[in-house]
Amino acid sequence: MLMKLHAGGRRDVTIAMQPLQLSHFQSLLLFALIISLAFGTLGRRQPIERLKYAAWSFAMFVLIAIALGWLMYPFSR
């Protein structure tokens, strides 16, 4: 994919962007990280509580997603 950038009055710059190729598991980890950081930031007041809550919610997101994947596996055939 090519992307043109306009540099305010200067000449245009064309940048070749590589598409991001993520596996399902990598997408799960990225989603869990972003959401758990948001939960930790919005859910608690003290910094150490935020960190603990973010780590706990990240672990729960990943563990529950893996468990649901294993439960759905027999129905995929």
* Position 42 in a domain: yes
Contact, 14 vs 6, CB < 8 A?
no
Q: What is the pTM of this model?
A: 0.72
* Position 56 in a domain: yes
Range of the domain at 35: 21-76
* Position 13 in a domain: no
* Closest by Cα among 3, 4, 77, 65 to 31: 65
* Position 59 in a domain: yes
pLDDT at 69 exceeding the cut of 80: yes
DSSP structural state of residue 17 = P
pLDDT per residue as tens digits for the range 23-59: 999 999 999 999 999 999 999 889 999 999 999 999 9
What is the average pLDDT value for the chain, to the nearest integer? 87
* Position 57 in a domain: yes
Mean of pLDDT values over 2-20: 67
Q: What is the number of structural domains in the chain?
A: 1
How far is CA 57 from each of CA 1, 13, 42, 46, rounded to the nearest angstrom? Answer: 36, 42, 12, 16
pLDDT of the residue at 2: 57
